[in-house]
Amino acid sequence: MTKSEVLTVTLNPSIDKTIVLPELRVGSLNRTSEVRLDPGGKGINVARLLHEFGVGVTAAGWSGGAEGEALMGYLKRDGIAASFTPVQGRTRTNLKIVDSSKELTTEINEAGAVVTEAELAAFIRDFTLLLEDVSYLILGGSIPPGVPDTIYARLAGIAREHGVKTVLDADGEALREGLQAVPFAVKPNIHELERLLGRTLASDEEIVEAARELLGQGVSIVIVSMGEAGSIAVSGEEAYRVNPFEITVKSTVGAGDSMVACLVHCLLQGKGLRDIAAWTAAAGTLTASKEGTQLCTLAEVQEHVHRVEVHSIGVHPL
């Protein structure tokens, strides 16, 4: 097995159950045209993609119950190194409903089972050992009940003590609190960024300005994703707007995680922000063209990256 350069943490992993309907009729009987199960959760998806990209990666978090065992089975099947701390509660199942006529995905994510103080302490012990020798830590997704919102700041702080850079992908208080530890990079979607800052971001200029507020706090790279409207990547010196290519959308689940994984891949390859902007956008877009929580491959990104449009946005260095 390749030595791990990256550690991903998924505190609230899931089995993603995708049901495809010809058309979602709320309040009526719906019959599925297709059902699929995939391993899910933000850090897990990042690990799946990085593994496919040939990056040494370990996935960590909590897992429990029959669903947790099934999840570990999927990761083993796919050859992904996994080190999950056991919990009494069962790993959640997240429902994704795809309306094929409208090309729309509706997500229903469970809160997840309660984690006890002893289970939290056991995880911190395991986590600290796993940090040895890795360069990047990915923290992604919601925080299960029982765990304080400050957990990401705590984990990012331990990572910094080990010389490990953190990439954070979270929402709400998990994002707000996580930012306190000044992660190296963050990838909010536009809604997460608007919630964080408490204001609507109506133009590219406003989004760049908002991203630069986070850079002002010490974050080095901010990538703001906006679904089919594309993405904006910003560092202290540069900013790029990326327009994705047209696809038939199958399921957008995992598109954001694919961007995070691609960001880390690019960082490990020493690529600059322009390439990061293009590669991450291509990865997200390709994943959105796949059913369920299926992710893009390295070969696909290499083949299609030239199709995204990248425009430089002039900024004054911070």
Ligand X SMILES: Nc1ncnc2c1ncn2[C@@H]1O[C@H](COP(=O)(O)OP(=O)(O)O)[C@@H](O)[C@H]1O
Residue 16 is a binding residue for ligand FBP (CB under 6 A): yes
DSSP three-state, residue 197:
helix
Which residue carries 């979602």 as its tokens? Answer: 24
41 makes contact, choosing from ligand FBP, ligand X, none, with CB < 5 to 8 Å by partner type, with ligand FBP
Among 281, 295, 296, 301, binds ligand X (CB under 6 A): 281
Minimum distance of ligand FBP from residue 12's CB (angstroms): 5
Which of 55, 130, 155, 255 is close enough to bind ligand X by CB under 6 A? Answer: 255
Number of alpha carbons in the 13 Å side-chain half-sphere of residue 316: 3
Among 168, 288, 296, 315, binds ligand X (CB under 6 A): 288
Catalytic residue list contains 133 = no
Task: Tell me how far, at minimum, the Cβ of 226 lies from ligand X, in Å.
Answer: 5
Block residue for tokens 């260095």 = 317
Residue 249 found at the interface with ligand X (CB under 6 A): yes
Site for ligand X contains 68 (CB under 6 A): no
Nearer to ligand FBP, 98 or 315 (CB): 98
Distance CA(128)–CA(133), nearest Å, equals 11
The option from ligand X, ligand FBP, none interacting with 64 (CB < 5 to 8 A, set by class) reads: none
Cross-strand bridge partners of residue 92: 14
CA distances to 17, 140, 162, 192, 271 from 293, in Å: 9, 16, 32, 21, 27
The runs of H, that is alpha helices, within 198-254 are 204-216
Tell me the residue ranges of DSSP E strands in 45-162.
57-63, 81-86, 92-99, 104-108, 136-140
Q: How far is the CB of 163 from ligand X (least distance, A)?
A: 28
For binding to ligand FBP (CB under 6 A), which residues are involved?
12, 14, 16, 40-42, 45, 94, 109, 141-142, 253-257, 293
